[in-house]
Structure 1
Amino acid sequence: MMKILAEPIDAIVKFKGREKPIPYKFRYADKEEIYHEIKIDKILMIEETKVAGIKAFVYLCQSEVDGVAKLYELKYLISDCRWELYKM
């Protein structure tokens, strides 16, 4: 089961025409302020959401982290132009 984190991240993203942005890799800091960089291996699903009037794209992704396949969700908050590591 994934835990909700909603932590801000730095992301490298591909924009193609009028399509949704596609994340390539991202960096986040853990509780000890240690930075981790993760390359996105697969995007399994993209969902457009609207919670409390805030539109966002939620990406269900998979990456290999320390030799283990991990699932996580990235969220792009459209009005803020901001990325979050939403669940991991």
Structure 2
Amino acid sequence: MVEFPTEDRVKHSIHPDGFVQFSGENPHKILAKPIEVIAWFELNGRPHPSRFKLDDKEIKIEQVFSVSQEKLAGNPMFVFKCQSKINGELRPFEIKYELNTCKWMLWKM
């Protein structure tokens, strides 16, 4: 087995949400960017996102790790912690769906 010099090794840790976090990487950069999403909905109104558009590029949502509900400025929202292959690498991100306006936003990436 080939040993790499210490300075060439990449340090990483497992984030509590299940993501792999590399040293020097900020997994929680807040974007709050409106996005277009393709989703299906249960009869009770719960959304299930499957793809979204980011800078004219369609991105398939590979995995949804968790779904929760919160209120942002008094507006009820679904929060989806997801992972997708973006530019050839798996990237964690968070998207939110605002119930009152039916709008989606890319919250963290």
TM-score, with structure 2 as normaliser: 0.71
Q: How far did residue 19 of structure 1 move? A: 5.1
Determine which structure has more spread, i.e. the larger CA radius of gyration.
2
Find the aligned partners of 2:95 and 2:72 in 1 and give their Cα distance.
15
Runs of 4+ residues deviating >4 angstroms: none
Q: How far did residue 52 of structure 1 move? A: 2.1
Is residue 23 from structure 1 mapped to residue 44 from structure 2 by the alignment? Answer: no
> Which of the pair is proportionally richer in strand?
1
Alignment RMSD, CA only?
1.1
Number of matched residues? 83
Q: Which region of structure 1 is more displaced relative to structure 2, 78-87 or 14-23?
A: 14-23
Q: How far did residue 28 of structure 1 move? A: 2.2
- Taking only the aligned residue pairs, the percentage that are identical comes to 39
Paired position in structure 2 for 1:45: 66
